[in-house]
């Protein structure tokens, strides 16, 4: 019996209702800015699911069934309002490298540690050549994007459909600027926007956009065709200043234009220190239903309650606000601190717009289970 069928057989007809809505209905309503029975809670569990299920990251790295089992086991245990796919950096950029170079770029550490990676190139000319040579196409067939990411996604979507869409699976893809900075490291890309000609930087970003638009054909033909409706865009440029956003932010917006043609529920992942101008842009770009935001920009001296309310007012009538607690508090705080932060977020947000309890980035593998449960319980006990 497949891992999916095993979980479907175990769970079908045995799940207790949580509230009056299904998980799917609750998250969809929030993104549509409609009332919900409970505030949805959908933390980006990602790596955390692996160790919660009793596996190490090395153990699941080449085992699709164990990866899927970890995600389904975690959902059955916690009953969040969405299932996030497991994704690591090799799924995204391994196809840019020939097989013999990959081991040198991806570094496994401890059983709970994130997969580290080294930049693929160091100069803007090298980055442009990587795209112009279509390296991402030449090395795709034997990369983890094909051998691991795709079958894992399809298994989760199979579970979603066989469970009658009680809970949505969230699939996501990095934006063009996210790829542009990942390939070379953020600080290099930011420096190039100052030291290199604008035309040259624009050319690089347009190449990244072209590749990402092609990637969306895959998500249309494989993810959407198999029932995926909830899509996270992992945005880039979170550390850029107003000048860079003004000159180059349109690259990501054009990517979103195509995403929204494919998926009905699109939200934007914007971790890190959030520049006010970036949040203002995200409040206006067509097709984005929610924004998973994180900390205020360095120069903003705001309490969390103030930042929640400012963002909620900005999003009012336009976007669902997705936050709380911070990933740092989720990992290092106490259950009481997490409960307080979730309640502050909800109290500051729901008078102005809909809310989803969703920290600004993925939950760290080292976060204690009692902290994750505190996050869920806090959301479940507030209307």
Confidence of residue 274 (pLDDT cuts 50, 70, 90): confident
Q: Per DSSP, what are the bridge partners of residue 267?
A: 232, 290
110 within some domain: yes
The per-residue pLDDT for 272 is 84
b/e sequence 97-123, b meaning 16+ C-beta within 10 Å: beeeebeebbeeeeeebbbebeebbee
Range of the domain at 309: 3-7+19-380
The per-residue pLDDT for 300 is 84
13 within some domain: no
Question: Is-above-0.85 flag for pTM?
Answer: yes
314 within some domain: yes
Collapsing DSSP to helix, strand or coil, 28 comes out as helix
pLDDT tens-digit readout, 251-273: 999 999 999 999 999 999 998 88
Residue 343, Cβ density class (10 Å: 0-12 exposed, 13-18 middle, ≥19 buried)? middle
Structure tokens at 299: 């120069």
12 within some domain: no
The per-residue pLDDT for 383 is 60
14 within some domain: no
pLDDT tens-digit readout, 328-383: 999 999 999 999 999 999 999 999 999 999 999 999 999 999 999 999 999 999 76
Q: How many domains does one find in the chain?
A: 1
224 within some domain: yes
172 within some domain: yes
pLDDT tens-digit readout, 4-56: 999 999 999 999 999 999 999 999 999 999 999 999 999 999 999 999 999 99
The per-residue pLDDT for 299 is 82
Chain-centroid distance, C-alpha 148 = 18
* CATH number of the domain where residue 191 is located: 3.20.20.210
123 within some domain: yes
């Amino acid at each position: 019996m497949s891992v999916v069928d095993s979980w479907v057989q175990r769970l079908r007809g045995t799940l207790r209702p949580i509230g009056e809505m299904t998980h799917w209905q609750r998250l969809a309503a929030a993104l549509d800015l409609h009332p919900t029975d409970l505030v949805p809670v959908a933390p980006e569990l990602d790596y955390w699911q692996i160790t919660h299920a009793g596996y190490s990251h090395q153990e699941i790295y080449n085992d699709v069934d164990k990866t899927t089992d970890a995600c389904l086991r975690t959902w059955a245990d916690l009953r969040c309002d969405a299932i996030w796919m497991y994704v690591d950096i090799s799924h995204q950029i391994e196809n840019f490298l020939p097989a013999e170079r990959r081991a040198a770029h991806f570094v496994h550490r401890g059983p709970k540690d994130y997969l580290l990676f080294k930049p693929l190139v160091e100069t803007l000319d090298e980055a442009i050549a990587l795209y112009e040579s279509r390296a991402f196409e030449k090395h795709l067939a034997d990369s983890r994007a094909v051998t691991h990411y795709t079958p894992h996604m399809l298994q989760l979507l199979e579970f979603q459909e066989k469970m009658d869409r009680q809970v949505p699976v969230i699939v996501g893809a990095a934006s063009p600027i996210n790829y542009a900075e990942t390939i070379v490291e953020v600080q290099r890309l930011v420096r190039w926007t100052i030291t290199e000609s604008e035309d040259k930087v624009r050319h690089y970003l347009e190449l990244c956009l072209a590749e990402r638009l092609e990637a969306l054909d895959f998500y249309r033909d494989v993810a959407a065709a198999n029932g995926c409706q909830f899509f996270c865009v992992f945005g880039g440029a979170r550390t850029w200043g107003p000048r860079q956003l003004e000159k180059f932010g349109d690259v990501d917006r054009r990517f979103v234009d195509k995403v929204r043609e494919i998926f009905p529920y699109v939200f934007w992942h914007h971790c890190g220190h959030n520049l006010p101008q970036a949040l203002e842009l995200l409040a206006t770009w067509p097709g984005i239903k929610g924004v998973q935001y994180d900390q205020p920009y360095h120069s903003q001296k705001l309490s969390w309650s103030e930042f929640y309310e400012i963002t909620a007012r900005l999003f009012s009538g336009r976007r669902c606000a997705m936050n709380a607690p911070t990933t740092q508090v989720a990992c290092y705080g106490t259950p009481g601190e997490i409960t307080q932060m979730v309640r502050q977020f909800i109290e500051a947000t729901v008078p102005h717009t809909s809310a989803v309890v969703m920290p600004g980035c993925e939950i760290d593998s080292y976060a204690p289970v009692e902290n994750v449960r505190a996050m869920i319980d806090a959301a479940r006990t507030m209307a």
